[in-house]
A and B are shown apart, each in its own frame.
Chain A
Amino acid sequence: MKKECIDCGGELNIPDDAVVGEIVSCPDCGGDFEISSTSNGSMDLKRAESVGEDWGE
């Protein structure tokens, strides 16, 4: 599935089997977007939160 980048309008290639929570990156601007919902073959995206690696013991 192809979708337009929220930030730059670039083309995002989203695997057909992608699920809610997966992150897709824009090849043009490098932005990360999280799939927030899927229904009837369409997907909604939101900007992914920046999460540092601080994992505990």
Chain B
Amino acid sequence: MIVIKIGGSIVEGLHPSAILDIKNLLKDEKIVLVHGGGKEVTNIGNKLGKEQRFIVSPTGVRSRYTDKETAEIYTMVMSGKINKSIVRMLLNNGIPAVGISGIDGATIKAERKKKLIILNENGRKMAIDGGYTGKIKNVESSLIKLLVTNNFVPVVSPIALSEEIEFLNVDGDRAAAYIAGSLQADKVIFITNVNGLMLNGELVKNMNYDTAKESIPKIGYGMEKKVLACTESLEMGVTETIIASGNVENPISTAISHFNCTVISK
């Protein structure tokens, strides 16, 4: 089984051959898709008159602040517009896709962050209410397995359920990692807009788990989360993790063949 993490749009940032590539792979493999889509949430939030607030962590990471209203918009856009657009695109190409969120079947459970540490306007560290973001604690993959067993392609949006049964904004890369771990997938592929991890100006083609863990502090934001998700996947029993570009012809099978991408394994 292969878990594939894509961005918020299967059209933007993905080579036109990607969907048929997935269709061909389905002849021999079971596939689960996990998507992101933060930019679209920001766009729709702004259109709804809910300007998205961004906060900066002490290490300089700029992130959305998910208050209750933002969590509702996030859920609506992720599991509505984005998820269903991807499902429609797959169905339109003969792929039997079913869209679910991490809420459905209580698939993704997370712990709500009680506090966040940000840099305030004086550039000093400050603790604020954590809002509605969470750290994934557990993936219950029965619903995904049910769909896969019946030859559907699950398309999962990264929304988790808190212990208090609230909607939580969780990171899509980490969601893909935890889903892959729960399914004991053979591979998890993180499709992005670059060929893979660059270190010292060069593409890292292969990396083992220990080196990847050591490298995380040296990697820029965005890619660092993908490498972290790779190491978490490996810790949970996934055999191989790949970070690859979606902008090449047949991006998924190209990644599986290890061409021009980063492969992280144990």
Contacts and interface: CB of A to CB of B under 8 A. Distances in A.
B113 A54 contact: yes
B135 A53 contact: no
Contacts of A51: 113, 115-117, 127, 130
A4 B203 CA distance: 49
B213 interface: no
B171 A54 contact: yes
Interface string B94-121: 0000000000000000000111110010
Interface stretch (B25-33, B56-64, B191-199): B56-64
B45 to A, nearest CB: 12
Contacts of B169: 56-57
B133 A55 contact: yes
Nearest to A25: B125
Interface of B: 36-38, 41, 57, 59, 61, 63-64, 66, 74, 78, 113-117, 120, 122, 124-128, 130, 133-135, 158, 168-172, 174
Across the A-B interface, give the 7 residue pairs with the lowest CB-CB distance, nearest first: A56-B169, A55-B63, A23-B125, A57-B38, A56-B133, A54-B135, A22-B126
5 contacts: A17-B122, A19-B120, A53-B61, A54-B171, A56-B74
